[in-house]
Each structure stands twice: as C-alpha cells, then as structure tokens.
Chains A and B, each alone.
Chain A
Amino acid sequence: MDPFRFVAAADEHAARAAASAGARYLAGGTTLVDLMKLHVERPRTVVDINALPLTEIAETPGGGVRVGALVRNSDMAHHPLIRARFPLLSQALLAGASPQIRNMATTGGNLLQRTRCYYFRDTSAACNKREPGSGCSALDGCNRIHAVLGTSDHCIATHPSDMCVALAALDAFVLLSGPRGSRVVPLVEFHLMPGDHPERETAIEPGELITAVDVPPLGFATRSAYVKVRDRASYAFALASAAVALDLRGGEIRDARIALGGVATKPWRAREAERTLVGRPPDAASFRAAADAALAGARPRAHNGFKIELAKRTIVRALTRAGAMA
C-alpha cells in the first residue's frame, strides 16, 4: 500500500470538502483496500464515509424502494421489502462474493467496484484502463473471463457486479450529490462502455458522492430470477449471469426485463431480447429466441467464445425459473 492521508468525515459536507483530487471515499473497503494493496489504486487521501447517515432502506411512493449508499449488501439482500418486491435483486446480492464480504460491501461501493481483469490488477502488465494508452494485455492474452458484449479495441473487461445486473433490469436510478448539487442518473447510463476511454468507467464526477439508489416500482418484479453461472459454488465472479422478470398474464408475456452480467463491459440490459418476448407464450422456444437476440452482437476473443452459448442457456434458465413461479 502506498502512503495516504486518512480523513474520517463526520458528515456529507466534510466528506466532499476532503475529497480533493486524488481522493477516494472509503465505504466497505472491499474493492478499494484490495486494490490499494495491489498498488492499482493509489489515492492520496482516503475519506472514510462510514459515519454518514446513508444506511436506510425506505419505501418510496408507488411501491419503489430507496436504498442508502452505505447499506451493506447483506442487509439489502435480507430486507423484507427487497425480498418481497424485488426477489431478483436479493438473489443477485446473495450470489455475490462471500458472507463476510457482503457484510462489509455497500450499495455505493458495489456500483463502483472495478473489473476483475487479471491485467488490470497486475501493475506490471499493460492495461488501458489502469494506464491509458499503455495497451490492452487481454486482447491477445488470457481472456477466458472477459466480455463478449460492449467491448472495444481498447478494453474487453467485464463489469463484475451481480447487484448492478439486477438494478439494470429494474431500471434503477443512482442518486448523486456533488459540488454542483444533486442529480439523478439512470443506472443503465451510469456505467459507460470502454470505447476509446476505458479509464472512464462511470458517469460520476470527481468529488461526487453516491447517496442512494432508487428502485422504482415494478409490479411484475415479483416474478423474477437471478441465475449466476460460475466456476465454483461461491466466492467466484459470474462467467455469465442473467437477471430477468416476466409480466405474465393470460398465458402470454406482456412485458419482460432481461439484463446480463459476466459477459459485458457494463451491466447489460438486453432490450432487443425483451421485445422478442412480448406477446409470446412463456415456453422454451420463446426463451431461446430471446436468448439468441440478447447475444446477437457478441464478439468473442480467443478464449471466451464459450460464454456466448453459456449466457444464452443462463438466460433460458432464468426465464424458465421466472416463468414457472406461482
């Protein structure tokens, strides 16, 4: 770890005041401290925000839920409102990391967790995300875990979060508070595709603080599922994951939500796939058609081609599970 200045902020104002250039907020620390140890993150100042009152989960008018930025992942996953209204979100959270990590990890930190690309985490390797312009070691390297959707010639790293995939399916919003006031960014616009600037990962501005995530009401989210495929039973990131919800009435799909994880450079909303489902019966053929549509634009590299079919099967399984719910 490189030396840094440590500030424990008593309130939001103090936090933002301390967050000069080169500063990082410290929430659960499970991403930040990890990367500091690897010298990937080298903040000059670390601002501990754990004393801020951002730990609430509250109902919003119409049946939505607002989750404070400092709510621990395990608290969100087990919260009765989340479990009752957004089972896919609860499942996604519980599919992530390990119980110890979930007890520390926060909503805000989870939104901003960094990729697990090996080369990003290894300071001796070239990586455009870590060091813009240095090149991308993954393009022709060990890219089994990398993305097939939303990639660019400069970066093919996946966004690793499970929670964000469910939030993308749910059309959630990120609430930000910064030097120039507060603003709200739709989650699907919060994360950016790598393009020519893989070092720019989110819409957050320097010094801005995430205060909460708003999950708007979605009646049919009770019929939803999160399926994660990984190399071992826990403590592993997704090779492919799918968050889905189905609005099923009269034996017909009226509306659908599909988002993918583990295969794309950001939490990936598959709108085209959703559209193919509307008006069709909830059967294997419909699900498969949606899965094909979701992966239509996939571009594999040398070692991650298997993810395309795997992701399709993951989607089918998630839809089947949701479709079969009472």
Chain B
Amino acid sequence: MTRPAPENRGGLHRRAFISAAAGAGLLLGIRHDGSVVAAGAAERAAPASFSAFLQITAAGEVRITYPGVDMGQGSYNALPRILADELEADWSRVEVVSAAADPALVSAVNGRQRTANSDSVLTYYDQLRVLGAGAREMLVAAAAGRWGVSAGECVAAAGEVRHPASSRALGYGELAAAAARLSPPAEPKLKDRDAFRFIGGSVPRKDVAEKVDGTAVFGIDLQLPDMLHAALRLPDEIGAEVVSFNAESVLKRRGVVAVTRVDRGVAVIADSFWRARQAAEALQVEFGPGAVAGKSSADLRAELRAGLLAETALPFPDVDTQVKPMQFRPLSRDATLAALETAATTLDLEYEVPYLSHLTMEPPACTARVTDSACEVWAPHQQPDKARQAAADAAGLPLEQVSLQLTRAGGGFGRKWELDYVRQAVQAAAAVPGRPVKLCWTREQDVGHDYYRPGCVVRTRVALGADGITGMYSRIAAQSVWRFQDKPMMPGMGDPTMAALLIYDVYDFPAKYIDFVEMPWAIPVGLWRSVTLSQNSFFAESAIDEAAVALGRDPYEFRYALLHQHPRLQAVLQAAADRADWNAPRPPGSGLGIALSHGFESVCAIVADVTVKDARLTINKLVCAFDCGLQIDPANIRAQLEGGMTFGLSAALRGEVTFRDGGTAEKNFNTQPILRFPETPQFDIVLVQGSDHPGGAGEAGVPAVAPALTNAIYAASQQRIRRLPLERSGLKLARSGSANA
C-alpha cells in the first residue's frame, strides 16, 4: 500500500526496565515507547502493548519471534538479524519462531501486526535494535557481577560475555537467569554502524532447509489428528449469491461428511480434498445474479473510457513524499488548464492497464477447528490481527477465545491480505464441531474470484514549451481499492491507492493536476504487489518519456534535470544509466528505455535493453539500480529485486484478467500464463546506499519494469505501447538474453 506512512523514525524514548519470568531464562519485549520490558507469561496475560519477543534460554538458545508472515520476502531473516546484531548473538544458536496473532507483537509504528507495504524492516528496526542492545547490556552486567569486575572491562561477542583481562567467558545461557534479576539499563547504547556484524553481511538464512526438503508447513500443508478437508463451490459469475443447494445430492458420496454454506459459496467437507472437490463440482446449487450484471471486459472498458470525459472527478492533492510528515501542496487545476490552453504544443495521451490476479503459487488455504467455546485457526495471512478478529466474527465467539497461528505462505503479494478464506474455513469447521477442517481453493477459483488489481484507463495531457513541460493534467478512471477495502476515504479527494503519484511529485515542473473518476462496480479489488505504483509508474513514466521525445530531449537527461531537488533519486537514476552504458550506440532495432519509481522509502531505476525485430521482442537485459538505504540483507535484496522484476515482467508482457458474462475468462496458468524459466532475462543489479535507515525491498522491483520496457521498445522501434499487457499489441517475447549470458 502506498498510503501515507506514519512517522517511523526517532521519538522512541530510551527509558527501559527489565524484569524476568522465573525459570524460563531471559524473556524480553519492548514497549511502544521504546522501553525494554519483561515478556513472561504473567506480563503477556495482562493487557500488553509491546513487541519483538526475545527469549534466551538457560541452554543458550536465542529465540526471536518473527511477528509477521513469511511469504518469501525475507524479513523472516532480516528482522532477527537486526536484533541478533545488537545482542552480539551467536547466529548458529538463534532460532526464529513463527508468530501467532498476538496484540503483544504489533509494530510500535503502525499499531498493527501485519505484513504489507514492504515495511516490516522499517517499522520494527528501531525496536529490535533497542531490545537487542538492552539485553546485551543486561548480560554483560550479569557477567561483570559474577566476576566482580566492572562492566566496562567486559565485551559481548558471539553469544558470550568475555573478560579479556582474565581470559574468562560465560555463555548467554549461563547468564540468562542472573540477567533476568537485574535492573535494566536506562538507555541501551546502540552499536556504531561500522560494528554491525549481521546487518549488511552474509549469514545463513533460517528458512532454507525446510523449503528444500519439503518439510516447510504452508497453509495447505497443515495436518492435524482427525482432520477433514473442505473444497468450495463458487459461482461462475463473480459475486453471485447462493439461492439454494441440495446437500443430499452429494452426501452419499464416498468420504463426504457435510455440506454447508459459507461466504461467497458452499463448502463440501470430506475426508480428502479430492473427494471434497469432486463432490463440490457435482453439488446441485442455484446461484442468483452476479455482482457485475453479466458484463464483459468490452463493456467495462467502454465505461472506463467514458469516465475520462466525465464532468466531475475527485481531485488528488499534490503530495510531497520526500518530506516527513508528508506535505500536501495546493491543487492547481486552473493553472494547469491555463498552461494547456496557452502551450505551443500539447500531447493528449491515453493509457490503459488490465485487471490482474495475484496467482500466488499456493492458492488461499486455511485450517480451523471450532467448538462452543473456542476457535483455533492456522493460516498463511498478511494481517493476523484482523484475520483473528474475522475468525471470531465468523465463529460468533469473543476474541479471547480465538487463536490464530501463522504458517508459511506460498506467496502473498496482497492476496493473503484478504479475510475471505479465513472466514470460509471457520464457517466450514463450524459445521463439524471439534474437528479440524482444512480449506483449500482450486486455482480456477483463485483466478476467478480474486481481489484484483483494478483495470484502469488514464488520460494525460501535457503542455510543452520551449524549455520543457509547462503543465500536466492526468486523470485516472478505475474502481477504488480503498472503498472496496472499507478504508476511510479522504473527504473530497480521490482514492490515494488509485491516484497518488499518477504524476510524480519529485519531478519539478509547474502546474500539475491529478483527478480520479471512480467506477462503482462490485468486482472485488485489492492490494497487488506494489499496489498504486503497479499501475501509476507505468502511466507517469510513459508520459514523461513521451514528453522527452516530443521535446527532442534524451529521456535519461530529461528526467535527471527534473529531479534536481532530489539528489538521492538522481544518484539512483544515474547509477542505472551508467551501468547500462546509456550513451553507447546500439545496433538498429535495439534500444534502451529507462524508468524510475520511488516508494516504500526506497528508490528504483530500471533500464531495459531490448531488440525488436519482426514483431519479436528480445529482452537483452534489465539493469536495476536500487537504493533502500541501509541494507540489512543484501543477498535477499537482490533476490527481491529479481523476483519483483520477474513479477512485473509477467504483468507487463501477458498479465490480464478479462470478464465475460460476469465471470473471468481466464481460470488457470494455461490461460493466464506467467513468465517461465527460459523467458527470464538477464538481470544486472546495482545497490546504492543513500540513507542510513532501511527502506523496503519486497515490492520496489515491480513498478518500473513495464515503463522501462515500453520506453525501450519505443527507442528500438518507434512503436509506443500505451496499453498493457504488451503482448496484446502484437509483440511476442522471442527469448531471453540469459541463455546466452
């Protein structure tokens, strides 16, 4: 999500106190005000508001609870590294613990326990450092006391406290109980950055072995005694309600135990998933009319394009994302219209992107067990706090009687932010009280009933003078993700998930104006990896490129000049251009395209190197320069960028969900293909550090791929692609460059 992020730096009071839970070694948490606190059972039973648990057992095991969900984004390892670094832990003795939904695990920055907006590292970073440093000082004090020396004579390193003068050492496990009885340091002293051992370095990940030997437990993998399996019957048309169903039509089938109504459809419960699915498909169900009234993509597209001409639209403020807190600049509609009227030259450009599905490799899956007095849930979920509440609502139980344990997530990308599959699992389990029920969606259901990235059309008018852009008016027509997600709308303003950064705030030219025409459709829409930027980077960076071309300016030099107020962004743009050898001559039919994106407190610039010949597109290379500030885990940052660019490529090339008769035409990977192994281009990634504080990496690689690619196609072939996916334009991906690398 790209909604304005709360203040997330500084302001943490370093007041601290530590106590301990008897018999369990050292158990610590950290309050939202930054104070280190005991986190034993007694403290957790009370209304608590602290996070980032640390336990050091008497055996010397360092257990760090990762508060979010591991869906491949790497913070499962990055967050513990931050704490372990300040703690001076022995990494081989660190165990990462997967969390349950727990108010004690919320981030101090946003008050939530959730994994989104690429902000796990940046919302927990300060807390984790203080907690690690506080624990280290406690352990040092305990050792100093044991030896009768001053703490200043002792050093903590690799999971033990050493007294060099006497060559003595004690392991953290031996010190944990004594440390737990001590008063805490009032202000734990954080390490100097040049003393970081794990941050920025290379340490083995904790989640690899189980993902390589098949033992990792994803949502779909949970196995419990006496467990049943649920499959869904969903309507062909999106949003159609169940009118009636005939359970008797399938109850006699082998293995079938129960049939029950759930949100969005009917669940069949059986002793294996396959039997449940066979029965669900055979079930006699009558559905009512769909929520999009039998519409097809052509109808929706016509309405979107008509929306561009609407008399009224909701304005979006010009937001300055580069200052804290964000600044809202005055709107300048009149000035923008005046600039367009008086300009020597104007461009009138229409762009379009389709609806997109998430296609997590693991479809939605969740397990629940419900009794009169308790509801237990096991789920891969990006917002365990709200999923637990949703389970409580679905079970009709108070929150205190509901638990939710996170599993591994086989991809999230925003799909596992939604609550539908958790509610369905609880509703299904309620039909067989006391027995665990594992619900799994089919791929066809996943594609056909997703919460899609909305399709959008954009009209951008550009006023050009001799010296550059004199005004830009950009209007977007689409559904509102915020409205569908029940988030409060800003009065009189367009949805920021649709309109923000439609014209980049960081480019300095006068008279910008953005507005939004909302489509009141009932197609479920939601958060899709990089959210707002997933579409608006394409719109913004295409228009800037077209303006540069119209002015006869080099697209890189043009952007660089417009960024003169933002040297950090200029440096990233330049790093990408330099790495791609921007000014070197290219053979006929080949060209480079550049695009920038900034979000998640990071900056990304991508240069695409392509060749276009006989309607065949060859991606020779994607060069990516990236600045997420302080790099916690550089190897993972590179993996996230490769993954983000691959994700962006799938969408740019062939990502498209279309609607026919109120349902989706695409249902599975055969009709909604994603990038395959041999199609993957060569990636060349340059990491730049432009800040001492970490930013996000999980989504940042996605947005700039599409505009870099279409800008490169223009440079190579003078064919300007304004509508995605680009294979729709007749271009086909020929091959990647990697096989020849």
The finding on whether chains A and B are genuine partners in a shared complex, rather than unrelated, reads no
